[in-house]
Amino acid sequence: MIMKSRQSIRVITLGCAKNLVDSEVLMGQLKLNNIKVLRDDDKGHADTVVINTCGFINDAKEESIDMILSYIDQKRKGRIRDVYVMGCLSERFREPLMKEIPEVDEFFGVNDLANVVKRMGLEFRQNLLGERYLTTPSHYAYLKIAEGCNRSCSFCAIPGIRGKHISRTPEDLISEARNLSGQGVKELLLISQDLTFYGMDRLKKQALPELVEQLSDLDLFKWIRLHYLYPSTFPERLLAVINERKDVCNYIDIPLQHINDRILSSMRRGVSSKETRDLIAKFRNSLPGAAIRTAFIVGYPGETEQEFRELEDFIRESRFDRAGVFTYSHEENTAAFGLEDNIPEEVKQERASRLMEIQMDISLDLNLEKVGKTYAVLLDRKEGEYFVGRTEYDSPEIDNEVLIKSASNLKIGEFYNVKINEADAFDLYGSLTE
């Protein structure tokens, strides 16, 4: 294999924050090899392109394939030299992809970073894995605390792609957290497929509450935010930790997927509608004022109008701060693939819009309740005449934003006290308090 010299490499990242962290680790390795790294559509030329794909549902698969084909087209036109593909789509469909898109120089899996770096003729520095090249604004960063998933949700292809749950050691995570703080990070977002499972493999116990306490004890971050909590066997001590620790955001991100017992059981979620409601009530009692973000799937095989209405009622009564809605995607190598995907696409879409409409009204109500109140706001960027930031109840890119008109030259990445004057379903508008 001839090692071609490379000065710059473009890394394209698709999919979730977990994929983003993988790309950042790869870019960190490339930087250590003195390679100029270009991200996504950064200006500048790179002869080599690495596409970190997503592949867990149809829309994501299509987006990844379109991205690959667009760079293969550039390669055919001689504008770039190499195209490498890694990540979930490549892990899941490597053989068929190699046949269908032979112009790709090589396909890699998900835990394949070392091979990607070596394929470029570069040195892989195992001991410097924490040296990530941050692609988020420097004041916030994701910390991936584990890889893989041991759950068996019937609709989900991720365990088949990412493998079994592997928790990272607390020591590793503490050292990476210190490194991130050294890079200016003030908001640390903990992610994995299932945060609540942390420690069950290595420590044979749910160790998330302890890990959060250890990260909080570092006293390095203003905000520690938890994403991807799982409803069954929820570690209740976590609620006390969130309550006691002022640097742990009063924020719960917990995909629930549905509320009807027949569907929850078919989805193999390991939780009933009563247990789900009891858990939400526990959140409301032990964390008053906490923002709850969740996600639902509509159009699951066999979902009747009656079962869907049960979900509508649940959303109305629960008044979640945010709810993402996905239409069921019939995925190979999942338990649900054996069921008939018998809900027509237009019905799936219609149910999704009905849920979104209910949620939008609730989000507007809850946002209007914030008018007149003052919040600590972390500024993410300047956009036109507005500074744009978030409260502790809002995660980057997926939740509300606070828009502030100010003549003063405010600093991005700093916290400001902001009084909310107006609100709509998605954003808050405020002004600085003295």
Binding site for ligand SF4 (CB under 6 A): 149, 151, 153, 156, 158-159, 193-194, 230
CB of 80 or CB of 156, closer to ligand SF4? 156
Residues 6+ apart with CB under 8 A from 34: none
CA–CA dist 429, 386 (Å, integer): 10
CB of 15 or CB of 159, closer to ligand SF4? 159
CB of 135 or CB of 193, closer to ligand SF4? 193
CA–CA dist 247, 220 (Å, integer): 9
Closest distance of CB 162 from ligand SF4, Å: 8
Enter the tokens of residue 228: 């991807």
Closest distance of CB 252 from ligand SF4, Å: 16
Radius of gyration of the chain (CA): 22
CB of 15 or CB of 389, closer to ligand SF4? 15
Closest distance of CB 193 from ligand SF4, Å: 4
Closest distance of CB 92 from ligand SF4, Å: 13
Enter the tokens of residue 278: 């009891």
Closest distance of CB 274 from ligand SF4, Å: 20
CB of 210 or CB of 331, closer to ligand SF4? 331
Identify which of 322, 430, 434, 421 has the alpha carbon closest to the alpha carbon of residue 377. 430
The answer to whether 322 touches 398, Cβ cutoff 8 Å, is yes
Closest distance of CB 159 from ligand SF4, Å: 5
CB of 15 or CB of 430, closer to ligand SF4? 15
What is Dmax (Cα atoms) for the chain? Answer: 65
CB of 194 or CB of 247, closer to ligand SF4? 194
Identify which of 369, 368, 390, 364 has the alpha carbon closest to the alpha carbon of residue 379. 390
CA–CA dist 132, 410 (Å, integer): 28
The three-state secondary structure class of 90 is helix
Closest distance of CB 153 from ligand SF4, Å: 3
- The helix (run of H) or strand (run of E) holding residue 120 is none
- Dihedral, CA of residue 67, residue 72, residue 77 and residue 83, to nearest 10: 100
